[in-house]
Structure 1
Amino acid sequence: MTTLFTIPITSTGGSFVCTTPEKDQNIYLLTFTSPPDNRLTTNFIEAFLLALDIIEHRYPKGVVITTSGIGKFFSNGLDLAAIASQPDFLDGYLWKLFRRFLTYPMPTIALLNGHAFAGGLMLAMFHDYRVQNPSRGFVCLNEIEFGVTLQAPMMSIFRQKTTPTTFRTLVLEGKRFPGPEALQAGIVDVVGGLEETLKFIKDRKLVLKPNSGIWGSMKEEMYRESLGILDSHSANLQWRDRVEEQKEEQSEKAKAAVEKWEKSQGKAKL
């Protein structure tokens, strides 16, 4: 491997390191290490975006593989406490990272060497392809377990890239998928490590695909729905507010109907 550049992650003492295999000069392996579990923080995202910019604007077109330098985790998702203290985190950072991958003008592959939970799995889904370790680590949306509602941009990519049954299982059941099950469910494209990833790239001739200059544009059309949702955060929040208001109104009407029924039956109010 030849090291092309390194970007520090100042908040954790970690880094992004871009390397390329000796025989595959147009394949860029971007390895991130941000202890303890590669949380998607502002510093992490800033470094990630800069790395993607450097590859696009300073190196020949090719394929970008992202992976973790921490064996146990690809990424453990968002730092909810940090998000609560940063009102601009979603619009200013997370959506930008998701959008960048969804429109990136080269093929992107997430090499999931360990767990990809919640936001970590979302990040992987915004890549073009996914390769998962067959014997270690799970992919999972576990928000249902700790009571955090997935916002529209987080939902849309799974709706577009997975089957309705897999989408339901991920969102409503929080199922943990090991590599072989994730492959069967269509969440990942192949199981393996770097060797299998390089073979996947070779078999599909992915290094050549961005040369025509329309790889990013084709994806913009493919994922137009998700892009529109990413770019309409305020409208998404307004829709959610309207839904919550309707739910409250319906709940009050339902309670009144139940009370009326209870009186008609001579039953005491619970």
Structure 2
Amino acid sequence: MSFPVAIPSKDKHMVTLHKEGPLYILHMHNADNRFEAAFIAALNQALDIVEQAYHSAEDLEDTALVTIGNDKIYSNGLNLEHAMLDVTFMDKYLALLKRILTFPVPTVAALNGHAFAGGFMMAIAHDYRVMRSDRGFLCMNEVDLPAPLAPGMAAIIREKLAPHTYRNMILQGHRFNAKEALEEHIVDEIAENSKVLDTAKALALKWAPKAKSGVVYKQLKDEMYTNVVAKLTIPYHRLAPKM
């Protein structure tokens, strides 16, 4: 396959997948990267390419995935109007979170800017995170919308964050800047805007050799997040009347 790959097409691409040695770099540039069905489909198509190449290699190789947004936004979350019109949307979105959470190779989110609500969920589902130090916030603002969280979404945050950080994020809607996010272990590193991607690549290269464990890497994730995966698998339509 020839890289970069524009998805879904060169004429109208929402994401672009690059390959640099053992790294796959997934650039999201669909306006402010709000999630809707077409955007989720484009992300899944890119993930398919990475997985198929990884699994079809003759020998196990160093492999990792880095995702990054555009301009000052990583992702501003769900397109709520679209979500309300498409009864299958939330199941598609939860399935994407599950896929990222248990992806078979190491994953790093390069947070070039704001990651709000569903965008933060996408970031926290990665194995590692690097955040821009000079601008941008991480926030779950459902308490201010107001809107409930699906059990699977809450489960990811509960699994990844300390209890007091979880409380402040969910019940206060606190906006974490880079310094706070690092102190609270929400992100692994922070870097200047011009160095966010390079720092994320370096972190990805550090852990890319773990992909050589083959199916074991995913099996370890599946076991690590057993309870989260179970909640992410609950069909959303069963929950909607109660939320």
Q: Same fold (TM over 0.5)?
A: yes
- Rounded Cα–Cα distance in structure 1 between residues aligned with 2:9 and 2:90: 19
Q: Is the 8 A contact 1:109 1:127 kept in 2?
A: yes
- Per-residue CA distance 1:206-234 (angstroms, 9 max, x = gap): 11101111111100000111001011236
2:158 is paired with a residue of what secondary structure?
A: helix
- Rounded Cα–Cα distance in structure 2 between residues aligned with 1:28 and 1:14: 17
Q: Is the 8 A contact 2:150 2:236 kept in 1?
A: no
Q: Does residue 148 of structure 1 match 2:147?
A: yes
Q: Is the 8 A contact 2:16 2:28 kept in 1?
A: yes
- Per-residue CA distance 1:223-247 (angstroms, 9 max, x = gap): 1110010112369628x73xx8xxx
1:54 corresponding residue in structure 2: 49
**Amino acid in the other structure paired with 1:29:** I
**1:162 CA drift (Å):** 0.3
- Per-residue CA distance 1:166-215 (angstroms, 9 max, x = gap): 0000000111111111011111111120222223234xx31110111111
The equivalences for 1:21-170 within 5 A come to 21=20, 25-35=21-31, 37-59=32-54, 61=61, 62-68=63-69, 70-91=70-91, 93-170=92-169
- Runs of 5+ unmatched residues, structure 2: none
- Rounded Cα–Cα distance in structure 1 between residues aligned with 2:39 and 2:126: 17
1:211 corresponding residue in structure 2: 212
**1:15 CA drift (Å):** 2.4
**Amino acid in the other structure paired with 2:37:** T
Structure 1 window deviating more from structure 2 (228-237 vs 206-215): it is 228-237
- Rounded Cα–Cα distance in structure 1 between residues aligned with 2:142 and 2:75: 15
Structure 1 window deviating more from structure 2 (44-53 vs 193-202): it is 193-202
Instruction: Tell me: CA distance 1:201–1:146, structure 2 relative to 1, closer, same or farther (3 Å).
Output: same
- Rounded Cα–Cα distance in structure 2 between residues aligned with 1:103 and 1:49: 14
1:198 corresponding residue in structure 2: 201
Q: Specify the structure having the higher radius of gyration (Cα).
A: 1
Instruction: Tell me: CA distance 1:212–1:72, structure 2 relative to 1, closer, same or farther (3 Å).
Output: same
Q: Point out which structure has higher relative CO (alpha carbons under 8 A, 6+ apart).
A: 2
1:3 is paired with a residue of what secondary structure?
A: coil
- Rounded Cα–Cα distance in structure 2 between residues aligned with 1:169 and 1:13: 39
**Normalising by structure 2, what TM-score?**
0.89
How many residue pairs match? The answer is 231
- Rounded Cα–Cα distance in structure 2 between residues aligned with 1:180 and 1:129: 16
**1:130 CA drift (Å):** 0.8
Please, what is the CA RMSD of the aligned residues?
Answer: 2.1
2:40 is paired with a residue of what secondary structure?
A: helix
1:97 is paired with a residue of what secondary structure?
A: helix
Query: What fraction of aligned residue pairs are identical, expressed as a percent?
Result: 36
Q: Is the 8 A contact 1:9 1:16 kept in 2?
A: no
- Rounded Cα–Cα distance in structure 2 between residues aligned with 1:161 and 1:124: 11
**Normalising by structure 1, what TM-score?**
0.80
- Per-residue CA distance 1:20-46 (angstroms, 9 max, x = gap): 33xxx11111101101x1101100000
- Rounded Cα–Cα distance in structure 2 between residues aligned with 1:84 and 1:9: 27
Query: Match for 1:232 among 234, 237, 240?
Result: 234
Give runs of ≥4 in structure 1 deviating > 6 Å: none
Instruction: Tell me: CA distance 1:235–1:81, structure 2 relative to 1, closer, same or farther (3 Å).
Output: closer
Instruction: Tell me: CA distance 1:198–1:234, structure 2 relative to 1, closer, same or farther (3 Å).
Output: closer
**Amino acid in the other structure paired with 1:144:** V
- Runs of 5+ unmatched residues, structure 1: 245-270
- Rounded Cα–Cα distance in structure 1 between residues aligned with 2:197 and 2:39: 23
